[in-house]
Structure 1
Amino acid sequence: MAGIGFALSKLRSQNNLAGHSIATGHAIMITAGPWIVIMIGLALISWLGVPLVGAEMTTTFRVLVIYCFALSLVVTAPIALELNLRVSAELFERRFDRVHGIYAGALGVTALVTVVLAWLLFAVIIGLDMPTATAATFCVLQVSLLWLTMSMVAAIRQYTIVTTGFTMGLSVSVVLGLSLASLGYGVAGLLTGFGAGLFLAFSILHGLIIQTFPGRVYRLTDGIGALIAHPMRSRTFVIAGLSSALAVWIDKLVVWQSYEGTAIAHGLIHAPRYDVPMFIAYLSIVPLMSVVSIWLETDFFTAYRKYRDIVHSGGTLRHIDAQRTAITWQTTNTIFSAFVVQIAISLVLALAGPWIVSLLGMGLETLQVLRLALIGAAFHFLFLACVGVILFVQYARAYFFLQAVFLVLNGGLTYVLLANPDALGLGYVIATGAAAILAYGVMVNTLKVMNRLTFVDNNPAVAG
């Protein structure tokens, strides 16, 4: 993602509030654009849809979109990591003409896998009627393509168009979805309209990518074949990407299958007492996570590039280690300071829990879960920030280890603590706390062994 740093640096270097605000806003869309659009869209449709089409229809729609979101992340996370590794290698070798084919092949693989799995889930396992299953498959396809495209947007500097594209897509999703539902198309209409808005956002971003990396137009089968024919850049990263997506959702899946799960239309299961507080908690870390992303793509990238330049220019070991030490100090200080700020934000929101519950019309039974979720989200922020640094320097084994540990902890502790209904959400807090502390330690160790990573592990001449 190092390509986004230049534009963000230019914005952030403006010594005024507007420059910093715009940079932060663009970073939010770059790091969590689809997630933000989907959550805001769900909130707007739920708020506006109840008077128009009723609470039952909007609830069914909301649960199906959550299913779409979860499935899309599981499908695209490993593909996006492999795409980024291949594109980064081609850009490093200045083979810009190959990026188009790699991107097209990744889109083809993503579309094929998404459609097959989505149809299996919605039509076969859940057993939705044909129109609703088709609309749900269309919706999850758009989310998957949007996630994959966002992994490439980092190389594009036209951030105003990116943010505008998401805004336009969100508007179309809400207006068209509610219009089709009001005309009698029901949940299928809501899903189709929602997916159409996501398709608009995807089309805008896709056009920017094609314009930035022009190339020969491949047949879909050729693009997929070329992608599959070449060995993966890193099987460890691909498996780690799948683990990271599952780790985020494993606690929800466990809770949905417990006594907290509530069945609605079509046999769909959700857990309102757990789902809503968790999504609010996730939203609470987005602003500061975007700030950390700006730092990663600007200050950290600049320092890391200087370190690599010293290495490749034949600098002395003393100069190399001095720069590595400076990076270590800057990184640990920045990450820890950001974590302290996030803890303060979570505590303030936790104290304001009764007001939030009342404002959103949530039951008082969600208050305790919300407070636990907010504390857990602060640790989740620390975990994400640390693994972000580890991913940046491409320490595959450490990244996979941390994602696997978080997956096991989040699923296992949530399951064990479900024995006590009053402890709902505590499993997530303990899991994120343990994973965050471990991730911080692994990140510090990663920075200590950065010389080995640079000279040996990530050196093509040595790795073969």
Structure 2
Amino acid sequence: MMAGIGFALKKLSSQDNLASRSLAGGHAIMIASGPWIVIMVGLAMLHILGRPLLDPMDLKVFSILVIYSFALSLVITSPISLDATLRVSRILFQRRFEEVHGIYLAAVFITTLLSLIAGTVVFFLLIGLPLGLGLAAIICVVQVSHLWLAMSFVAAIKQYGTVTSAFALGLSCSIIFGTSAAALGNGPGGMLIGFSIGLCISFCILNFLILKTFPGPLTALRDLPAKLREMRPVSATFIAAGVCSALAVWIDKIIVWQSNEGTAVADGLIYSARYDSPMFMAYLSIVPVMSILVVWLETTFFNNYRHYRDIVHSGGTLRQIDEQRASLAQNAVDTVFSAFLIQLTISVSLAVMAPLLADLLGLPYDAISVLRLALVGAAFHFLFQASCGVILFVQYGKAYLWLQVLFLVLNAAGTAIMLSNPDYLGLGYVLASIASGTLAYAAMRQALGTLNRLTFVVNNPAISG
């Protein structure tokens, strides 16, 4: 995350009226989970509207390709976004605003190139999709990747209304163009292209906003290779952490898809009806509380952390520095734990209502137990993400990397082991989330407790090199 959006969020959240606080929360939802919300809501709407227009199997192919595109794009863009975030945060602090333009365009170029290559390998070489359907899937991967990347830059822009409107417009266009393509008889490939057009519209608005906010000279094509060679990764640790973070979220689905729980559909695509939908619904259940935490992280925590850094840079006494560190740490620990308790209460309440939710969502009866486990696991996954957010904010790279590796390994191992009993489906994710969330919370407390060492030694270029 980048400090910057916090100024806009603070202005809204500090106003003592429901409308302003709701706007702050709504904007935080877009910043924290914008592409996720657009894709999942758009997918749900197109499912409902597409039933009279497409064969059920074609509709299933469309849904699976959107999920595959979302997963692939997240793995591609996570390390690029993390590296770009570190670069932009550094140059914004140094007030070298003109360099943001070049970093952004280089990131877009790399993201596009890797998306095209990865999409070609996955959809044509590994799955073997027909040409038209494969091209539609690759286009979707590119557009989702662009959205994820753009979100790592718009976090530094205060025009919250434009950001939120861009997603609302893109979502509307995705639904309109997707259903229109299906109505014209273009099948799942046409619906996927229509869906991607909406994503492209959202990206174009965000792209214009970024380039307008951070203008700069365009690099000639002949100079681009040299420029890219100069832009070596800021931190190999954060690059590796980004890859592990994205893989950790999807590794359990991939393992389930390859097991007896997986169901093959047309064109070599695999999904799990009993696992996929409950997991996605559980992820959506943490978005409201996560948005509240984003508002806090980008406003209160940022201000406290900035005050701590100001005392350090102004030559404050050790007592002044440690008092501010202790206040910052206590506030962070209390806030994250309180948010976790709220999320756990919500998750348990939803788990109790799982049969009703399954009926409303059209889930099979045997998915109710998975939904309950997924909701409980999502609460601890929230604790993991919240704690890692604080650790990432103070740039404790090694701890952040090892936590992502831990969750990746535990989620993979737990899911694989629990597949031996169909009744335990989803329990591996729960156990991995509980263990990782607890350790991440402890690591956050340890990072805040040793913040002086992180500031003066670990993150000091003069010492760490």
What's the TM-score, normalizing by structure 1? 0.99
> What is the SS of the residue equivalent to 2:123?
helix
1:314 corresponding residue in structure 2:
315
Q: Aligned-pair distance for 1:352?
A: 1.1
Indicate conservation of the 8 Å contact 1:104/1:220, yes or no. Answer: no
* Aligned-partner Cα distance in 1 for 2:55–2:221: 42
Distance 2:221 2:200 in 1: 19
Match of 2:66 in 1: 65
Alignment partners' CA distance in 2, 1:288 and 1:223? 42
Alignment of 1:117-156 (within 5 A): 117-156=118-157
| Alpha-carbon contact 1:106-1:227 (below 8 Å) kept | no
Contact 1:108 1:223 in 2 (8 A): no
**1 CA distance for matches of 2:120 and 2:173?**
25
Q: CA deviation at 1:57?
A: 1.2
Please give the residue correspondences for 1:421-436 in structure 2 after superposition, counting only pairs within 5 Å: 421-436=422-437
| Counterpart AA for 1:425 | G
**Could you tell me which amino acid in structure 1 is paired with residue 411 of structure 2?**
N
* Shift in alpha-carbon separation, 1:221–1:401, aligned structure 2, 3 A: farther
Could you say which residue in structure 2 is the equivalent of 1:16? 17
Is 1:305 the counterpart of 2:303? The answer is: no
- Are the equivalent residues in 2 in contact too, given 1:180–1:193 (CA < 8 A)? yes
1:239-270 superposed Cα distances (whole Å, 9 cap, x missing partner): 00000000000000000000000001101000
Q: Is contact 1:105-1:224 (8 Å) kept? A: no
Match of 1:402 in 2: 403
Residues 1:354 and 2:355 aligned together: yes
CA-CA distance at 1:54 after TM superposition: 2.3
Please give the residue correspondences for 1:109-258 in structure 2 after superposition, counting only pairs within 5 Å. 109-219=110-220, 222-223=223-224, 225-258=226-259
Contact 1:153 1:209 in 2 (8 A): yes
Paired letter, 2:146: L
1:286, 1:224 → 2: CA distance? 40
| Matching residue of 2:92 | 91
Structure 2 distance, partners of 1:91, 1:33, is 23
Aligned equivalents of 1:111 and 1:456: distance in 2? 37
Change (3 A) 1:224 1:67: farther
1:458: how far off?
A: 1.3
Match of 1:369 in 2: 370
Q: 1-side partners of 2:263 and 2:80: how far apart?
A: 33
8 A contact 1:139–1:195 mirrored in 2: yes
Q: Is the 8 A contact 1:83 1:106 kept in 2?
A: yes
| Cα distance in structure 2, aligned partners of 1:224 and 1:35 | 33
2: CA distance, partners of 1:448 / 1:341: 25
**How far off is 1:219 after superposition?**
3.6
Q: Which moved more, 1:120-129 or 1:364-373?
A: 120-129
Partners of 1:405 and 1:220 lie apart in 2 by 41
By how many angstroms is 1:224 displaced? 5.5
Q: Which runs of 5+ in 2 are unaligned?
A: none
Q: Distance in 1 between matches of 2:354 and 2:183?
A: 34
Aligned to 2:297: 296
Which residue does 1:454 correspond to in 2? 455
Residue 332 (structure 2) pairs with residue 331 (structure 1)? yes
Give, in angstroms, the shift of residue 220 of structure 1.
Answer: 5.2
The change in CA–CA distance for 1:220 and 1:364 in structure 2 (over 3 A counts) is farther
Q: Distance in 2 between matches of 1:222 and 1:343?
A: 52
Q: Distance in 2 between the 1:300 and 1:67 partners?
A: 35
2:420 is aligned with 1:419: yes
Identity among equivalent pairs (%) = 56
TM-aligned CA distance change 1:378 to 1:227, over 3 Å: same
Greater Cα offset, 393-402 or 346-355: 346-355
Cα-to-partner distance string for 1:86-144 (whole Å, 9 max, x where unaligned)? 11121122211111011100100000011011011111211111111111100110000
Q: Judging changes above 3 Å, is the alpha-carbon distance between structure 1 residues 223 and 40 closer, same or farther for their aligned structure 2 residues?
A: farther
| Amino acid in structure 2 at the alignment position of 1:65 | V
Partner of 2:379: 378
For residue 228 of structure 1, report the CA deviation from its aligned partner: 3.3
Q: Which residue of 2 aligns with 1:3?
A: 4
Alignment-mate amino acid for residue 114 of structure 1: S
Q: Which amino acid aligns with 2:45?
A: L
Deviation at 1:293, TM superposition (A): 0.6
Aligned residue for 2:137, secondary structure, equals helix
Instruction: Sort the Cα spacing of 1:121 and 1:383 in 2 relative to 1 into closer, same or farther, 3 A.
Output: same
Aligned pairs, number: 464
- The match for 2:272 is 271
* Change in CA separation of 1:334 and 1:256 when aligned onto 2, cut-off 3 Å: same
Give the Cα separation in 2 of the matches to 1:358 and 1:228: 54
Hey, what's the Cα distance between the residues in 2 that align with 1:359 and 1:77? 33
Deviates more, 1:15-24 or 1:405-414: 15-24
State the SS of the aligned residue for 1:53.
coil
Shift of 1:462: 2.3
Give the 3-state SS of the residue equivalent to 2:284 in structure 1. helix
- Confirm or deny: 8 A CA contact 1:27 1:293 kept in the other structure: yes
Q: Residue 226 of structure 1: CA displacement?
A: 1.8
Please say if residues 101 and 223 of structure 1, whose CA atoms lie closer than 8 Å, have aligned partners that are also in contact: no
Displaced runs of 4 or more, over 4 A: none
Query: After superposition, what is the alpha-carbon deviation per residue over 1:306-341, rounded to whole angstroms, capped at 9, x for unaligned?
Result: 000000000000000000000111011111111110
For the residue of structure 2 that corresponds to 1:51, the secondary structure is coil
Q: Deviations over 1:14-49 (max 9, x none)?
A: 111111111000000011000000000100011110
CA distance 1:181–1:220, change in 2 (3 Å) = farther
Question: How far apart are residue 222 of structure 1 and its match?
Answer: 3.8
CA drift at 1:9: 0.3
The letter of the residue matching 2:29 is: I
**Distance of aligned partners of 1:199 and 1:224 in 2 relative to their CA distance in 1, 3 Å threshold:** farther
Deviation at 1:186, TM superposition (A): 0.8
Shift of 1:223: 4.4
Could you say which residue in structure 2 is the equivalent of 1:50? 51
Residues 109 and 224, structure 1, Cα contact 8 Å, conserved in 2: no
Q: CA deviation at 1:363?
A: 1.1
2-structure distance, mates of 1:221, 1:9: 44
Q: Which moved more, 1:166-175 or 1:61-70?
A: 166-175
Q: TM-score, normalised by structure 2?
A: 0.98
Aligned to 1:100: 101
Instruction: Map Cα deviations across residues 261-291 of structure 1 (whole Å, 9 max, x no partner).
Output: 0001101000010000000000000010010
| Letter of the 2:238 counterpart | F
